[in-house]
Amino acid sequence: MSRNCSSGGPFLIRNDRVKELQQMYFLFSKVQGALAELRDVFKQVMQQQGNALLADSSLAKDPNAFVTSFLNLKQKFSKIIKEAFAEDPEMHAAMKTAFEGFWGGDSRSAGYLALFVDGFMRRTFRNLNSDEVQISFQHFLALFRFLRDKDVFAAHYKSLLARRLLQSRSGNLDTEKLFVAKLSAECGQQYTSKLESMFRDLFVAKQIKEAYARHCLYANKTPTNPHWYYANFFGVDAQPTAAASSSSSSSSSSSSSNNRSADIGGSGHGIIGTAAEGPAAAAAAAAAAASSGYCSAGHPSDLQSAAAGATAAAAAAAAGDPPAGYHGLRASSVCTPEFECTVLTHATWAAAAEPLTNLLLLPPLLRPCVDSFVSFYLSRHSGRVLKFILEEGRAVLRGCFALGPHEINCSTLQMCILYLFNYNNSLTAKETLEKLDAAAAAAAADPAAAAAAPAAVAEIKRHLLSLCTSKCRILNRRRSDGQMPTKELQDEDILEVNSDFHSPHFCVKVPLLSPFSSGLQLELQAGPDVPASVELDRNHLVEAAIVRALKSKQQMLHADLVAEVSVHLAPRFAPSAALIKNRIEALIEREYIQRGPKDMRMYTYVA
């Protein structure tokens, strides 16, 4: 009855026949040992269905579908245990063993669960009330408890949480803190210490921003360019020292700081530009005033403005003044950068192995803003070092195109790239790299140098290619020989501003290509392997647990030490005996512990 596949236990479990299963459970409970038979069948069916989900190639490509399938499977069996098996502890234990085998044994599970929670925090929970959010968290934690390698989940979740917080993509900060608190209750405060430090960093960073705004206001300090000013900065009403255009732009972020910069003026159609200076810029701005700060080539008045601007630029060039830009169109003679920097602790936040910290990448317009903040910060915190992580920053730019102006929300690196096209009609990919950063260009051209800084070049290319995608084609990319461009960016590819760019929305957000190709995210893969960064953390954790155990007891046998270390690390991951033995040997070499003089299986702590 229990093993008949067509009408017995397996059939009833697969088809959710709760009433019949309840009758079977009641009947088997009358016979000694019969429930053990039913429990084994229940466990076997769970393992079969779980392994079938793992083998489904369509689920493996979609983290949301992958996790949703296991959530549904868990809820299905939990319902059977509750309604048919009377919450039998033995059935709960069977489900725990089965899920730890197929769900917890695959390293994709930890990464996909972290991605699933990330999507929930960014989008899904906005449509739920507080009770529904709590229920969702309970479901997530149910799968989380079955993970063997909870440290892999922590590594993925930390990286995703950092992106949500830095890019302001989290739906609610209190909800983020609530989930971290639940993780802490499951695995201890040490497990979530870095996650909690992120929230503390953001609180301190907000105080620094407000102090900097007051510093600029009360000290009446502005950057060296008299056109720059700070206004309405975190609720502080600064008096503008010059006329201002209306948009703001974000600049770079840093491992110890995350910046936001301000309006990089307007320009002619198809150009994302800065405010121009000098006589040529003033003439172009005056001519463009009739179009309310933007020049659109679709109207006769704007064509007249363009002609007037071109005439003024030619006159300025003849007089030896610097050109206002090859396109001769300027929306404003005044620039009002708004700069914001989020100071973070380097050890807490996830960052690329080789982050882009070269401030020469930034347009000259923004460097005084950075210098001003650095001077302010170091005057209050002597002995510290600020490193700007440019790839984590955001920028908001305004550009005028043939079909109308748009406000463009992009990354700091994309801002730097678009700035180049204020003064160039077209550039090759190699020329773009050279203008952005001579070191990056050398690494791209020289294979030997490329080995030293591949991540930096790959990151710049990723941001550049994102401007050429069909979803948001601000730049056109073509090959010099007329053939279709390849998927990878080539040095000879020609980049031009897409003057016909149009979007139904005034505010356009440029989507970034997936970072997996550049290796910035932890690798998700099937099988027992874990990312190298997690392996390194595990070595430190195992060594710390060994020293802690021997320090408390002074002497321990090998088997007892392995058992105690395994118990101590069980909330985070299941260390293998080989890993523990390997770290014991490493500690002996470094003279933290030593073997007994008579019994080689005995270890002694060295004070």
- Give per-residue pLDDT as tens, 548-571: 888 888 888 888 888 989 888 887
Write the CB contacts of 468 (distance below 8 Å, at least 6 apart in sequence).
474, 475, 476, 477, 495
**Between residues 334 and 399, which one has the greater pLDDT?**
399
**463 φ, ψ to 5°?**
-70, -35
pTM exceeds 0.75 for this model: no
Quick: pLDDT tens for 259-307. Answer: 333 333 333 333 333 333 333 322 222 222 222 223 333 333 333 443 4
pLDDT above 90 coverage of the chain, percent: 16
Query: DSSP 3-state assignment of 508?
Result: strand
Q: How confident is the model at residue 308 (pLDDT cuts 50, 70, 90)?
A: very low
For the segment 515-532, the average pLDDT, to the nearest whole number, is: 49
Quick: pLDDT tens for 411-450. Answer: 888 888 888 888 888 888 888 888 876 444 444 444 444 4
**Between residues 246 and 401, which one has the greater pLDDT?**
401
Write the CB contacts of 330 (distance below 8 Å, at least 6 apart in sequence).
265, 266, 267, 268, 273, 275, 276, 281, 284, 285, 288, 295, 309, 324
Quick: pLDDT tens for 61-103. Answer: 888 999 999 999 999 999 999 999 989 999 999 999 999 999 9
Residue with tokens 């990089």: 264
pLDDT, mean over the chain: 74
Rounded Cα gap, residues 284 and 280, in angstroms = 6
pLDDT above 70 coverage of the chain, percent: 72
Q: Residue 534's closest CA among 203, 157, 263, 85?
A: 157
Rounded Cα gap, residues 297 and 97, in angstroms = 68
Query: DSSP 3-state assignment of 293?
Result: coil
Its CATH class, for the domain covering 532-605, is mainly alpha
Q: Name the range with the highest mean pLDDT among 326-330, 360-364, 444-448.
A: 360-364
Strands 555-557 and 602-605: antiparallel
Residue with tokens 């080995």: 451
Q: How confident is the model at residue 351 (pLDDT cuts 50, 70, 90)?
A: low
For residue 323, pLDDT beyond 50: no
Q: Give CA angle at 350 (344, 355), nearest 5°.
A: 85
Residue with tokens 């102090």: 211
Rounded Cα gap, residues 37 and 365, in angstroms = 75
For the segment 160-180, the average pLDDT, to the nearest whole number, is: 88
CA 93 distance to own-chain centroid: 37
Q: Which CATH code, of 1.20.1310.10, 1.10.10.10, 3.30.365.10, 3.30.70.980, is assigned to 1-103?
A: 1.20.1310.10
Give the residue extent of every domain in the chain. Answer: 1-103, 394-518, 532-605
Q: Is 258 exposed, middle or buried (0-12, 13-18, 19+ CB in 10 A)?
A: buried
Fold of the domain spanning 394-518: Ribosomal Protein S5; domain 2 (3.30.230)
